[in-house]
Amino acid sequence: MAWQPRPGPLGWIKAGVFAACLVPMARLFHGAFTNSLGANPIEAITRSTGWWTLFLLAVTLAVTPVRKFTGANWLLRLRRMLGLFAFFYALAHFITFIWFDHWFDMGEIFKDVIKRPFVTVGFAAFVLLVPLAVTSNTAMVRKLGRNWQRLHRIAYAIAVLGVLHFWWLVKRDLTEPALFAVVVVVLLGMRLRHAPIPGRA
């Protein structure tokens, strides 16, 4: 039986993870106010918020397989927070796009979403994250019952769209998108192994 923290220590772990998840955002704010984000701060913010969205999506998706392999069931208690932080960075990324990149020019934003495949998939991923964030509270989990789990399987599609978004925007060096792609493929592949086989249930 894997180690399970008691409620007290679990609270401290949660607080620690919460603080850690805020560090990238704090660094961006610090960088923006001290003018130390480099020559193109808006690009730096766009890249950073996008990168951390993908990273947190991957961490969120890692909770279930890691739990199954190690028996550390308490990790499940962190998942909602991790998922919400993924949404938090996705929202920051989206705001950067509509504000700094397009200056709220709705016509241009619409054109970009329609015309640029990398924007289309990124936008789709963000839109799909919204219902997951909205239904993340305990009341909604209770209300939706089995449907909650079905709904939240959208997270797999979001991760794939997110990697595709990164892959298609890179000019030439695919190293980082490829690393994320491997991680997401592994995390989704692990689920296939554990998925119930139709007909045997």
Partner 1 sequence: MLIRTPSDILPSEITPQALYLRRREFLRQAAALGLAGTMLPASGSVFAQTAAPVTEPGKLAKLPGKPSPLSTTDKATPYKDVVTYNNYYEFGTDKAQPAQYAHKLKTRPWSVMVDGEVKNKKPIDIEDLLKLAPMEERIYRMRCVEGWSMVIPWVGYSMSELIKRVEPTAKAKYVAFATATQPETMIGLRLPVLEWPYVEGLRMDEAMHPLTLLGFGLYGEVLPNQNGAPVRLVVPWKYGFKSIKSIVRITFMESMPKTSWNVAASHEYGFYSNVNPAVDHPRWSQASERRIGEDGFFQPKRKTLLFNGYADQVAGLYSGMDLKKFF
Mapped onto helix, strand or coil, the DSSP state of residue 71 is coil
Residue 61 CB, nearest approach to partner 1 (Å): 14
Residues 43-72 that bind partner 1 (CB under 8 A): 43-44, 47-48, 51, 55
**CB-based contacts of 38: which residues, under 8 Å, 6+ apart?**
44
Residue 168 is a binding residue for partner 1 (CB under 8 A) = yes
Q: Is 151 exposed, middle or buried (0-12, 13-18, 19+ CB in 10 A)?
A: middle
Tell me whether residue 3 or residue 33 sits nearer to partner 1 (CB atom): 33
Query: Residue 52 has which token pair?
Result: 């951390």
Task: Report the alpha-carbon distance of residue 84 to residue 27 in Å, rounded.
Answer: 19
In 170-197, which residue ranges form alpha helices assigned H by DSSP? Answer: 175-194
Out of 1, 106, 138, 173, point to the residue binding partner 1 (CB under 8 A). Answer: 173
| Contact flag: residue 113 with partner 1 (CB under 8 A) | no
List binders of partner 1 among 69-108 (CB under 8 A). Answer: 100-103, 105, 108
With binding defined as CB under 8 A, does residue 36 bind partner 1?
A: no
Cα of first residue to Cα of last residue in the chain, in angstroms, is: 27
CB 134 within 8 A of CB 143: no
Cα gap 190→56, rounded to integer Å: 18
- For partner 1, the closer CB: 7 or 38: 38
For position 42 contacting partner 1 by CB under 8 A, the verdict is yes
**Which one among 61, 92, 132, 183 touches partner 1, defined by CB under 8 A?**
183
Footprint of partner 1 (CB under 8 A) = 32, 38-44, 47-48, 51, 55, 100-103, 105, 108, 111-112, 115-118, 168-169, 171-173, 175-176, 179, 183
